[in-house]
Structure 1
Amino acid sequence: MKKIKSVFDLLLAATVSFEALAHSAPNLPKVMTVPEGVAAFGWDFESAEVTTQDLGQGLHVLFGIGGNIVVSLGDDGTFIVDDQFEGMIPKVVKTIGDLGGSEVDFAVTTHWHFDHAEGNLALGPQGTWLVAHENSREMMKDAHVVNMVGLAVLQEAYPESAWPDITYDSEMRFHLNGQTVELMHFGPAHTTGDTAVFFREANVLHMGDVFNNTGYPFIDADNGGTLDGLITFCESVLAVINDDTTVVPGHGATASKADFMRYTQDLAVIRDRIAAHVKAGMDLSDIIAAEPSKEFDARYGDNTMFINRAVKSLTYRYHP
């Protein structure tokens, strides 16, 4: 465990007002704080339960509020991927203890969004080594608005104690608990700093929010995410895994490689249609009217946020 110096947990970046951020990004819905956003999603830390799924070889998935957590337990310690919210950490830590683990030694962040990384606020000061792609660390140092179309959330800068201690560029490996743990980054996708984590011996993959198994993905286009990149990221990971791999999405139930491949292929079809419309000069309302995802909506649900963010990210490609 690392030793954290006693420091004031102050925001090191300048405070940015809601009004200033909203003015710099026109057409935003009302900008909320993270607690307001949590309430808007109907999440309640006090009543929330953490459930688990055993993946074998000391690996478990924890489902709670926010992103899915993968836990690796063994003689080398406790290694987790994503840590949800600070308010969920007591329940997460208790669940890890019930599974036979102890204090969290390493926490990998798949990306910097609050529902996957705010547990860093508790784990960092406790001495956990925090790990992420270098772009996620940079994003965590400043405030950003996450525009989800129906609502927007101001992600405040994280205090320094919650910043990743260890970062990487394209790939990195850990060797612990009998696993070769491979961290992979293939460019901007859901965000600019996404990490896929592959536990090779157990054949378990955590995709973070690059793979959403509850509906269409969210593309954080205002902060550098791209639909093109998300599809490329998925295709790159598909080349690494095999038919027996268990795929853990950022949200939703665990899936197979076949499920993940279908998701990737479906997004590619929709992307090509939207790209053609954008290249032809159609605006957002016309593209929505053209129903580019029509035959997929029954599978993935409401497409409002996805189409909006996809159009924005593809507009950058053709009309930078």
Structure 2
Amino acid sequence: MKTIYTLFAFFGLITSNAQNKDVVITTHKVTDHIYMLEGRGGNIGVSSGEDGIFMIDSKFAPLTPKILDAIKAISNKPIKFLANTHHHGDHTGGNENISKLNTSILAHDNVYKRIKNNSKQSDDALPIITFNDKLSLYINGDQVLIFHTEHAHTDGDALLYFTNSNVLHTGDTYFNGMYPYIDLNSGGSVNGYIAAAKQALILIDDNTTIIPGHGKLSNKKEYEFFLEMLESIKVSVLKSIENGKTEDEVASDASITKTYDDLNFGCCFISSEKIRRTFYKSLK
């Protein structure tokens, strides 16, 4: 039996390495000094300027060399700060690698706690600067407002707004064009997720460019539609709960999400059945 497990692990490693080898990191220019790096894992934000590089999220560890190549194509300046939008591995997996570049990592208090308690991550992946509610960072001609949203995607989410550049990085409180992953086991909730979108929308205007946690670059109109989707599903699921429906009955009721299924929102990370089940669990 041990041999079988070893073989599974070996072939799993080969598959993982092959997937990483095939990953392409694509750079999207957002403003004259802000960029989004897209590839496997969460979208990375990069601010480049005289003060150095300010990086948001680090994807998976094996992708670090490709990510650094993409950043060096933007600027040869050192990576001064790395901010984590939350603790998930597709956003913090490269932390340890980046920390070895004498980069200071910052995140919400709960991100520190969750990485600290994760046996798969070393202390080198930990943020050395943490905050409880909000934080301001002045870099590359921008004031970056970093603020916590409670019990949204997780219990440690941070949104980052570049006030002068009018760019918002939402982390995984926004999955553009798809159903979101709401991590109930890590303190996430439907109500908190909706509140996070409302909180962010107050800050921005029609000219804001949004870097979502996953998906293509976005704007206020698309973010508002995403919020509309969340609130619509919430209303339908609450009605089903009030009518005594069980979790399985709600999960199998395709009418709840049909409008957004028809727009292919169930394309990617979270299926329509999974999002209905998540809403039920959170709202029940």
Q: Same fold (TM over 0.5)?
A: yes
Q: How far off its partner does 1:102 sit?
A: 2.9
SS in 2 for 1:210: strand
Among residues 15, 19, 28, which one is paired with 1:44 in the alignment? 19
- Map 1:88-237 onto structure 2 (within 5 A): 88-143=63-118, 156-237=119-200
Q: How far off its partner does 1:285 sit?
A: 1.6
Q: How far off its partner does 1:187 sit?
A: 0.6
SS in 2 for 1:115: helix
Q: How far off its partner does 1:304 sit?
A: 2.3
Q: How far off its partner does 1:266 sit?
A: 1.3
Structure 2 equivalent of residue 6 of structure 1: none
Is 1:310–2:282 an aligned residue pair? no
In structure 2, C-alpha distance between the alignment counterparts of 1:220 and 1:60, rounded to whole Å? 27
TM-score, length basis structure 2: 0.89
* One-letter amino acid matched to 2:258: K
Native 8 Å contact 1:73 1:101 kept in 2: no
Q: How far off its partner does 1:43 sit?
A: 7.4
Q: CA 1:166–1:37 in structure 2 vs 1: closer, same or farther (change >3 Å)?
A: farther
Native 8 Å contact 2:250 2:277 kept in 1: no
Among residues 241, 246, 269, which one is paired with 1:283 in the alignment? 246
TM-score, length basis structure 1: 0.79
Gapped regions of structure 1 (runs ≥ 5): 1-31, 144-155, 316-320
In structure 2, C-alpha distance between the alignment counterparts of 1:207 and 1:112, rounded to whole Å? 14
Structure number having the greater helix percentage:
2
Moved more, 263-272 or 298-307: 298-307
SS in 2 for 1:44: helix
* One-letter amino acid matched to 2:276: I
SS in 2 for 1:208: strand
- Map 1:50-89 onto structure 2 (within 5 A): 50-89=25-64
Native 8 Å contact 2:252 2:273 kept in 1: no
Q: How far off its partner does 1:79 sit?
A: 0.4
Gapped regions of structure 2 (runs ≥ 5): 1-7
Structure 1 equivalent of residue 258 of structure 2: 294
Instruction: Kindly provide the CA deviation profile for residues 74-123 of structure 1, in whole angstroms up to 9, marking residues without a partner as x.
Output: 11111011110111111111111111243311110001001111110211
Structure 2 equivalent of residue 10 of structure 1: none
- Map 1:10-49 onto structure 2 (within 5 A): 44-49=19-24
Q: Of the two structures, which has the highest relative contact order with CA contacts closer than 8 Å and spacing of 6 or more? A: 1
In structure 2, C-alpha distance between the alignment counterparts of 1:90 and 1:297, rounded to whole Å? 37
SS in 2 for 1:49: coil
Native 8 Å contact 1:96 1:102 kept in 2: no
SS in 2 for 1:309: helix
